[in-house]
Amino acid sequence: MPYKIAIETVRSGPEAIAKIKDGEVYDIIFMDHMMPEMSGIEATNIIHDMGYDQPIIALTANALNDAAEMFMSNGFSGFISKPIDLDQLDKHLLRFIRDKQPAEIIDLARKAKVHSPLNPETDYSNGLPDILVTSFLWDSKNALSIIEPIVEKQILDANDLKTYTIQAHAMKSALHNINNPELSKVASVLETAGRGADIKTIKGDTPAFLDRLREIIEKLEPRKEQGISDEDEDPDFLKEQLLVIKEACNNYDIGVADKALGAIMEKNLSKQTKALLDAISDHLLCGELEEAATLIAI
């Protein structure tokens, strides 16, 4: 991770609020606009009502003409459109984190960067990274479990439509992230149908969408089991790569950690080792690098 910053991740607005209630203070918070249980705007208003005054940046897939006014009027310090534009992300990190630091601290950081080796780029040319597959499988299975019972109802109330819209929105982004723009567009149509209470489109188009989603899950799911074997593992290679992961986590370098994790996943593994790697992968997915490091008892 080029910024070498510590990242903490939560999955919902209430969880974010709980962190602030517990006294946590962050240099910057990135808040998703559309989330389960509570929107990012609702969560941000509650956090500001608690007296929290650090910057909160909205992440949104709906870059409307009046988006800036809407977010600024609700206490956000800025917003970034999804899919995330790395240049915009960089600008916000520079403005709200780097530029707040005293000049001498920035100068020391620059000198340290000059004397440290560059992090190698993770090569994902052979397919999706394992951490992205894990994220997509979690999101898509969750969406299936929520959307399917809603669509099976005879009558959808306002809460059903809100929940449906949030999940369709989530899948729109998730499908884009795994390079499936075609199905992402279908999810976008369903999201619009949810917002407009278009029951005909919801009832008519959602079942086929869910079937196609299941097909993708079935294709990606075997990757979670890939490499499990009763054959002997290579203990020296395993130890070497686990040490790489542990050191990378301690240095907040998620790119190196994920590359080493992928190298291990290509080998024959016992079920016990695979379970350990899945747990490490889950922590990396959430940006919990310290937790991932503690799992490696070497």
Rounded Cα–Cα distance for residues 193 and 156 (Å): 13
Specify whether 214 is located in the same domain as 270. Answer: no
User: What would the pLDDT profile of 220-239 be if each residue is shown by its tens digit?
Assistant: 876 555 545 545 568 888 88
**253: in domain:** yes
Specify whether 109 is located in the same domain as 136. Answer: no
Rounded Cα–Cα distance for residues 22 and 108 (Å): 32
Domain hosting 262: range is 235-294
**2: in domain:** no
Q: How many domains, in total, are found in the chain?
A: 3
**250: in domain:** yes
Give all strands of the β-sheet with 29-32 in edge-to-edge order. 29-32, 56-60, 78-81
User: What would the pLDDT profile of 240-296 be if each residue is shown by its tens digit?
Assistant: 999 999 998 888 777 788 888 888 877 777 777 877 887 887 777 656 778 888 888
Q: What is the DSSP letter of 99?
A: G
Specify whether 213 is located in the same domain as 260. Answer: no
Specify whether 214 is located in the same domain as 241. Answer: no
Specify whether 105 is located in the same domain as 149. Answer: no
Q: Of 225, 260, 282, which residue is a domain's last? A: 225
Q: Mean pLDDT for the chain?
A: 79
User: What would the pLDDT profile of 192-220 be if each residue is shown by its tens digit?
Assistant: 999 999 999 999 999 999 999 999 988 88
Specify whether 214 is located in the same domain as 158. Answer: yes
CATH number at residue 108: 3.40.50.2300
**125: in domain:** no
Helix, coil or strand: residue 79: strand
Rounded Cα–Cα distance for residues 128 and 146 (Å): 26
Residue 203: phi and psi, rounded to 5, are -70, -35
Specify whether 218 is located in the same domain as 239. Answer: no
**124: in domain:** no
Banded model confidence at residue 18, pLDDT cuts 50, 70, 90: very high
Q: Of 47, 82, 114, which residue is a domain's last? A: 114
Residue pair 212/196 in contact (Cβ under 8 Å)? The answer is: no
Specify whether 212 is located in the same domain as 189. Answer: yes
Instruction: Say whether pLDDT at 75 is over 80.
Output: yes
Instruction: Say whether pLDDT at 54 is over 90.
Output: no
105's CB contacts (< 8 A; 6+ apart) are none
Specify whether 206 is located in the same domain as 250. Answer: no
**248: in domain:** yes
Q: Of 114, 139, 156, which residue is a domain's last? A: 114
Rounded Cα–Cα distance for residues 266 and 295 (Å): 20
Cα dist from 177 to 47, 72, 129, 184, 263, whole Å = 29, 27, 11, 9, 22
Rounded Cα–Cα distance for residues 210 and 183 (Å): 10
Alpha-carbon torsion (173, 174, 177, 178), positive or negative: negative
CATH number at residue 151: 1.20.120
**123: in domain:** no
Of residues 186 and 11, the one with the higher pLDDT is: 186
Q: What is the dihedral of CA 128, 245, 140, 163, to 10 degrees?
A: -130
Specify whether 46 is located in the same domain as 77. Answer: yes
**83: in domain:** yes
